[in-house]
Amino acid sequence: MAPMYSSGIDIFSSSGQVGKIENLPEKFNNTTFNTIFYGSGKGIHSTTPFKGILLKDLLLKSYPLNRENLKSGILCIAGKDGYRCAVSYSELFNRNDQQEFMVMKTAKKEDGGLFRIFAASDFFSDRAIKSVSEIHLDIIK
């Protein structure tokens, strides 16, 4: 897919679409992770710091913090090209190691944009998603 680009992120729960992200709110604090980015069969991608906002802060309005979500919630984050990653609700919202999931915004029409996910807790880039187009929350029974 070239160029690969998604103009926004559709947010879903089991009841259907609950939101859409087309811009990052300015009220959230920007975060910087200084890290080395490895993976996808390419070795070291970069040593450039990652800057963005925490994914949990962006999603809290759509996916409230409650017992059921913490106990049984799982999120699927999908890129425009179909690449996906899974993360438990607790892993995303209940961290205490400062190794959060981050959302970064790219320049308009940049290949791999408009939004990207960076998982600071992962050594390899397996759950880094470009051109994020959807996020789904399901409760596992």
Distance CA 113, CA 121 (A): 22
Model confidence, pTM:
0.86
Domains for the chain: give ranges and CATH numbers. Answer: 9-139 (3.90.420.10)
pLDDT top residue among 33 and 134: 134
pLDDT tops 60 at residue 131: yes
Task: Report residue 18's pLDDT band, with 50, 70 and 90 as the boundaries.
Answer: very high
pLDDT tops 80 at residue 58: yes
Mean pLDDT of 100-121: 90
Token output for 78? 């999908």
Amino acid at 15: S
Task: Return the number of other C-beta atoms located less than 10 Å from residue 69's C-beta.
Answer: 21
Distance CA 3, CA 61 (A): 31
Distance CA 43, CA 125 (A): 10
- pLDDT value, residue 65: 95
CB 11 within 8 Å of CB 19: yes
7-21, 55-69, 93-107, 127-141, range with the lowest pLDDT: 93-107
Task: Report residue 43's pLDDT band, with 50, 70 and 90 as the boundaries.
Answer: low
Counting residues of the chain whose pLDDT is more than 70, the rounded percentage is 90
Token output for 93? 């919202």
pLDDT tops 60 at residue 133: yes
